[in-house]
Structure 1
Amino acid sequence: MADRPTLVKPPPLDPSKSAIENVLELTELDAIGPDLFTNTRPLWHPPGARGIYGGAVIAQCLAAAQRTVPSNFAVHSMHCYFVLAGDSEIPVMYYVEHVREGKSFATRTVQARQRGKAIFTTTMSFVRENSGGTKTVEHAVPLPQNIKMPVEETEQEALNNIKLMGNSPFVSQRINILNSESTNPHEKKTRQWIKARGRISPEGGHQAHLSALAYMSDSYFIGTVSRIHDLWRFGAPANPIDKSTTETVASDMALRAEYIRRVQEAEGVGLDTTNEAQRPEIGMMVSLDHTIYFHEPRRFRADEWMFAEMSSPWSGSGRGVVLQHIHAMDGTLIATCFQEVCISLPMLESVTD
């Protein structure tokens, strides 16, 4: 049988659900085996990326595991490893294993496989609601002060952004890089506002918001090390280039130039795009792992603005570590994320007389 992006033909989109709920919909394969799921709809392959968008696999693994725990349990930590690049042209199978069934905690592992091989693996821990007791030790990193607030898109702006960025199920607004003039990369912080498009349905419950948060947590994350070192990698434009017509090529180049301009303007940097051959670039950048600590699983909505701030404490030996804090607009710290990336510079060509 020819490769296909889903195991069964996708049903029509459910208009009562948000775009991100439709994107992350799973099909249970109980006729084949217990706790076995597959993607209901094709998964996104970002332009220029080696495989499918990592956030989609992260979120669908979480969605699969959430369907195997009691409703009064919520995820509090998720530790993931990217093993192989996922192929957007074939289905992903999600195998959930019950590791622990406790009174206060439950543990699940999920393995995402394609063609029988693991492309991604994660272990998640769930905690029973209100199991921490009546007295707890509490503190949290506060929402930064004096940050530029998000602006709601007009209908035309939404259409323009979709054209530039593809039909993304979430909205992001990047703001200036904090301490962009510093000579110390570890002092710089990249920042953005994010939220799911539309309104997440009541039927989705807190689980839908957590899955959506997991999906968005991988946005803009991997590029933190390259940005704080002023190493830029603008992937292929959202629309494929059809070189059969000069009109299409010109349109594509215009989209690319507009995207670069918007990124620079939002982040407060001034790289010269008139001669892209002169700008510093990276040779390869891929995610190795991804960790999410969910702090307040029932105190936020993923379809309302959330503030994400990223920094990097270290890079070296071809790798870099990135830290991310995600806040709700009311200041609630809802998640802390870590990621390690593999990053390399292009090999310099040897110079001969």
Structure 2
Amino acid sequence: MPTLKRKIKRIIRKIRRAVRRPFEAAGYVFLKWTIPLLPRRMVIGLARFAGWVALRLPIREREVGLKNLDAVFGDSKSTAEKKAILATSLATFTQTMFDVFWFSKNPAKRIADFVTFDPSPLVERFFEDGAVICITAHMGSWEILGQATALRGADLASIAATVKNRTVDRVLIELREKTGQTIIPQKGALKTLISRLRKKGKTAFVLDQHTAPENGGITVDFLGLPMSVSAAPAALAYRTGTPVYFGFSIPDSTGGYRIEITDSLKPPAFQKEADMDGIVQQLTQKIEDRISAQIHKYPQFWLWSYKHWRRQAGGNYPASYPDY
């Protein structure tokens, strides 16, 4: 009987996706042509209004966000503080989505006007000729991070999951690649990435999402909770000897973004295949520790409304673990 129920649920989901697909496609095409025409102040105002409204509606994103905030902060923050963080987080995510479209018009000028890189030796080293693995998170505008980095001259390829709606996927890839960035589909990307790194290219990963073990995920501590994340960046770094840099795009009060390159890691020299699992585990944990530190620094700009933590069969989870 449970198997039959699962089959029925899958069929219903497929029907819903099929019905929704043309409306999603039409919506993205509409936004592609209208959002770039709006003045910057209106884009920011709409995003902030959306965050304010979302916090007051009984929607899934609000429920998931508050559960995540409770799991991470417990009693160390009040309910009012958590709601304030979530409101800004929801507004930031809305602004990020609007900005995929808004920066597509005159991207070089708009990025020059609204995006700056923090001056630091790490920034200069990142843009030197040589292979780099860039790690970021769903913080601020990870989309602008890739576009601005490519516009500044980096030979950058970013890994992205393929959107099931083909029209939406095509629109997103077109917009993301406007400044010279290359988008590589997540599925089957390993050979392409190894080749790119050996040719001194740079590649970027967003590494704060759940990746199931059957898809290459390993369990590490993330914000004080066990989470299964992709081991691919650490494995690539160890196999190829490529340094790992951490970059984040932080919104400012004017509607712009400040890009910080906060740290770098040099993987140990590759010795033998037998050491692979242990070193990849350690390196992945170091990567997540640096992302966690940035989230604690700017909690209001991180995407709390996503189901980052998911239980695995046979796993041992603390009582505070979010239950979606």
TM over 0.5: no
Higher relative contact order (CA 8 A, sep 6+): 2
TM bucket (normalised to shorter chain) is under 0.3
* TM-score, length basis structure 2: 0.27
Greater helix content = 2
